[in-house]
Amino acid sequence: MRKLNDEYISVREEYEKMQNDLSKDIIADTAKYSDAIKDLDILLTYLDVMVGLASASLAPSIAYVRPKLLPKGSSGKIDVKQVRHPCLELQDNFSYIANDVSFDSETGKFYFITGPNMGGKSTYIRSVALC
């Protein structure tokens, strides 16, 4: 029995060493492609967002307004009226309240978003992020 136990321990150690070596080889090989993987991640994220917004824009319950974008650095202000989350509007039997959003970097204000569970805090933040 001792001989079988020693043999088992030896085989187990060899297996763990081979598994560890294989893991290191895989990590080393994939590390060579880390920049390409990061670029692919960024591209797929962008594509996912664009497809989601395109899908939402094809069947809006009410018309959307194209935002007025200013040149970079010209203003630190976001002023949006009646912000809605486009993906939520696609859901049936869903009541959504549009919100006004105004941020100005010159005032230095920040906002605390508070409220009860399921009160719309996350939805509001996501809606603002889409602006």
pLDDT, residue 98, reads 80
Does residue 39 lie in a domain region? Answer: yes
Q: Range of 78's domain?
A: 33-130
Mean pLDDT score of the chain: 83
pTM of the predicted protein model: 0.42
- The more confidently predicted of residues 92 and 33 is 33
Residue 11 is assigned to a structural domain of this protein = no
pLDDT for position 26: 94
Decide which of 65 and 26 is more confident.
26
Tell me the one-letter amino acid at 93: N
Would 10 be classed as within a structural domain?
A: no
Number of domains in the chain: 1
Q: How confident is the model at residue 131 (pLDDT cuts 50, 70, 90)?
A: low
d(C-alpha 96, C-alpha 88), whole Å: 8
% of the chain at pLDDT higher than 70: 92
Q: Does the pLDDT at position 39 exceed 70?
A: yes
- Written as six digits, the tokens of 112 are 């605390």
